């Protein structure tokens, strides 16, 4: 359940606490979890608390804070550096949007339609598609995407990388009447998200989303020009989506539900791209019945293969993924871990009440040490894509089983 809102208070950088009076608006709003909030209290930034809520299930306190817009880059760097897994914050362009995100699923405007059956009923479709999936295709996409100087959300490189994905996906989908590739514009920066839509037939109004983020970041000072190959984080996720698209096209797969493959812009700076898209889908009352996030799929840092993140995700869909992996990928070992508030784009969807899952490459403690630096290269992921191939096969099975469902 949710707690009551805190009275407004101001935490000053130098440790002086000025309680009770609201600071003048500082221009940007973040929602953060406990870990990020604790870091911000220690760090060097002026923070105004506007509200707090208990996260669904009471896992932790979430805070709505205002910060100075000019402090955002250093706040992001501090949180990425201290918390490692993506900072644990969501950026909001207004306090109203921040309050909707903070309130989470309680404000769901779009009730989930009847949930998918979660029955594995499409082996005849899935098995031949999985056999077509190719490690070298995934590797080639990772290498190409990590060839951009960086894919930073506000750099020219970052905009060009997004355009490359759009062109590549459009070439794959060309000639398939039920497929279209579009780019999604975001306010305030040039990098666009890319959406490949495979329109369904008799259940076309129900939508399945598979996502990854196309941007990258290096925590060095000059981010727009700093090398940030982002091979694992998250070229590996985009490469998985690209391979899923390739094999679904090759199989001329015709889903009943609509499938959307989404390469999100600006994940590293507060889940901005995915929030814009999730908010638009909710505004348009799109009946999204399942969301899968693929963020870091190719660095095998732990003993097991796929770790299902258990917080800010949907338990029923996670159980379905376990069943699907056991059936289609019997040699893949499954683990579980938590990654905290706003650790990747699935959180933008779960904050609006949608059912999400986030299969991850390792445990949090053993995740890729090279991320968010010039060292996140294909070579430092072992110069292989066999690990990502497991995620690609899982994603393709997820897309077809939910895309067709049971008769």
The per-residue DSSP string of 63-96 comes to: EEEEEEGGGHHHHHHHHHHHH-SGGGEEEESSHH
Pairing relationship of beta strands 179-184 and 193-198 according to DSSP bridges = antiparallel
Segment contacting ligand IPO by CB under 6 A, of 5-13, 23-31, 106-114, 364-372: 364-372
User: Catalytic residue numbers?
Assistant: 213, 233, 267-268, 295, 372
Residue 334, H or E segment = strand 334-337
CA distance 221 to 65: 24
Helix/strand/coil for 196: strand
Question: Residue 33 gets which letter from DSSP?
Answer: -
- For ligand IPO, the nearest residue by Cβ is 86
Question: Residue 303 Cβ, how far from ligand IPO at the closest point, in Å?
Answer: 15
Binding string, 302-321, against ligand IPO, x = CB under 6 A?
Answer: -------x------------
* Contact region with ligand IPO (CB under 6 A), list: 66-74, 198-206, 314-322, 337-345: 337-345
Contact (Cβ atoms closer than 8 angstroms) between residue 227 and residue 372: no
Q: How many residues bind ligand IPO (CB under 6 A)?
A: 18
Q: How far is the CB of 122 from Zn ion (least distance, A)?
A: 33
In the complex, what is the shortest distance from the CB of residue 16 to Zn ion, in angstroms, rounded to a whole number?
33
From the list 264, 354, 360, 378, which residue makes contact with ligand IPO (rule: CB under 6 A)? 360
337 binds ligand IPO (CB under 6 A): yes
SS3 content of the chain, % helix, strand, coil (to 5): 40, 20, 40
Q: What is the DSSP letter of 132?
A: T
Residues 217-246: x where in contact with Zn ion by CB under 5 A, - otherwise, as a string: ----------------x-------------
Out of Zn ion, ligand IPO, none, which partner does residue 66 contact, by CB within 5 to 8 A per kind? none
- The sign of the CA dihedral 286, 292, 293, 294 is negative
Q: Which of 171, 212, 208 is nearest to 193 (CA)?
A: 212
Specify the residue, 23 or 277, whose C-beta has the smaller distance to ligand IPO.
277
Q: Which residues bind ligand IPO (CB under 6 A)?
A: 85-86, 213, 233-234, 267-268, 295-296, 309, 337, 339, 343-344, 360, 364, 367, 371
């Amino acid at each position: 359940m949710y707690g009551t809102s805190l009275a407004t208070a101001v935490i000053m950088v130098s440790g002086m606490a000025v309680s009770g009076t609201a600071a003048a608006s500082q221009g940007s709003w973040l929602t953060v979890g406990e870990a990020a909030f604790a870091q911000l209290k220690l760090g060097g930034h002026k923070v105004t608390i506007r509200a707090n809520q208990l996260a669904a299930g009471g896992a932790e306190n979430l805070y709505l804070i205002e910060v100075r817009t000019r402090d955002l880059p250093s706040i992001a760097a501090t949180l990425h550096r201290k918390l490692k897994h993506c900072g644990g914050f969501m950026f909001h362009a207004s306090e109203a949007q921040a309050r909707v995100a903070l309130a989470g699923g309680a404000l769901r405007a779009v009730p989930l339609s009847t949930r998918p059956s979660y029955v594995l009923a499409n082996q005849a479709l899935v098995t031949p598609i999985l056999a077509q999936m190719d490690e070298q295709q995934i590797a080639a996409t990772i290498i190409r995407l990590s060839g951009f100087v960086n894919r930073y959300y506000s750099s020219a490189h970052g905009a060009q990388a997004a355009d490359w994905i759009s062109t590549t996906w459009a070439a794959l989908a060309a000639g398939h009447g039920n497929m279209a590739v579009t780019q999604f514009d975001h306010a305030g920066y040039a990098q666009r998200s890319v959406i490949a839509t495979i329109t369904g037939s008799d259940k076309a109004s129900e939508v399945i989303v598979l996502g990854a983020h196309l941007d990258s970041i290096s925590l060095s000072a000059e981010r727009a020009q700093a090398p940030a190959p982002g091979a694992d984080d998250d070229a590996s996720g985009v490469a998985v989506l690209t391979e899923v698209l390739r094999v679904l096209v090759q199989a001329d797969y015709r889903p009943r539900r609509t499938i959307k493959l989404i390469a999100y812009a600006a994940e590293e700076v507060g889940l901005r791209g995915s929030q814009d898209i999730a908010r638009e889908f909710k505004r348009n009352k799109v009946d999204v019945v399942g969301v899968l996030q693929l963020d870091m799929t190719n660095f095998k840092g732990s003993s097991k293969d796929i770790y299902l993140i258990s917080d800010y995700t949907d338990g029923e869909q996670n159980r379905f993924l376990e069943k699907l992996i056991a059936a289609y990928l019997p040699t893949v070992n499954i683990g579980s871990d938590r990654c905290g508030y706003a650790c990747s784009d699935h959180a933008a969807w779960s904050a609006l009440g949608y059912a999400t899952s986030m299969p991850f490459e390792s445990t949090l403690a053993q995740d890729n040490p090279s991320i968010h630096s010039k060292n996140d290269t294909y070579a430092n992921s072992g110069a292989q894509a066999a690990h990502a191939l497991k995620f690609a096969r899982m994603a393709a099975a997820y897309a077809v089983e939910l895309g067709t469902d049971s008769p």
